[in-house]
Amino acid sequence: MKVITRPVLTLGLLAHVCCFSGCGYKFVDGRGVFGPDVNNIEIRMFENLSREVGFQAFLSDALVEEFMRRGDLKPAFGADTAVADLVMNGVVKEVKVSPSSFSSVSLALEDTIEVTIDVYVKRSVDSRTIWSHRLLQLDEQFLASADPNVYESNKEQAMRRISAEFAGRIHDELFERF
């Protein structure tokens, strides 16, 4: 039986580290995927074609928060929108609420809200579309209630959760494209 000495083991470990450190793997800086001249994005209020008043505001707030949190592209506000490098807009196509589970006496226990949107990102310089996703759809369940105030509160919370999920997905897909 051959015994491996400490210097030989150390040398072997060092050789492995050197070989694998040169593999070319590196982290990608998200800020550079659109080019060095693109630093910010204007997030416009989506057009709402649904019957659910106010969903577009939840979505807009969630998108701004997501882009601010991630920091890859800075959201442009107010006077900054005139110099925004990219512009995001879209359409809330449909917001549909339907019962999804029932009690033994046929009362709705849970409802599902299903939202469909179209989203577009264009360069502000030439209005060229650089990314779009049509008919992006998400759904969320929420507790139904006989009390209209509780029901509306639960539905609003579900719409906020869907908006946050849309924002994360849109941000991820926008950067995956490149």
pLDDT in tens, the chain (178 residues): 555 566 666 666 666 656 555 555 545 555 556 777 888 999 999 999 999 999 999 999 999 999 999 988 999 877 666 789 999 999 999 999 999 887 777 677 899 999 999 999 999 989 999 999 999 999 999 999 989 999 999 999 999 999 999 999 999 999 885 5
Domain count, the chain: 1
Residue 18, in any domain of the structure:
no
Residue 2, in any domain of the structure:
no
Q: Looking at residue 34, which CATH number applies to its domain?
A: 3.30.160.150
Residue 4, in any domain of the structure:
no
Report the C-alpha gap between 52 and 131 in whole angstroms.
26
Q: Which domain holds residue 49?
A: 26-176
Residue 67, in any domain of the structure:
yes
| Pairing, β 108-123 against β 74-75 | unpaired
Residue 20, in any domain of the structure:
no
Residue 19, in any domain of the structure:
no
Report the C-alpha gap between 162 and 62 in whole angstroms.
9
Residue with tokens 């264009």: 122
Record the pTM. 0.78
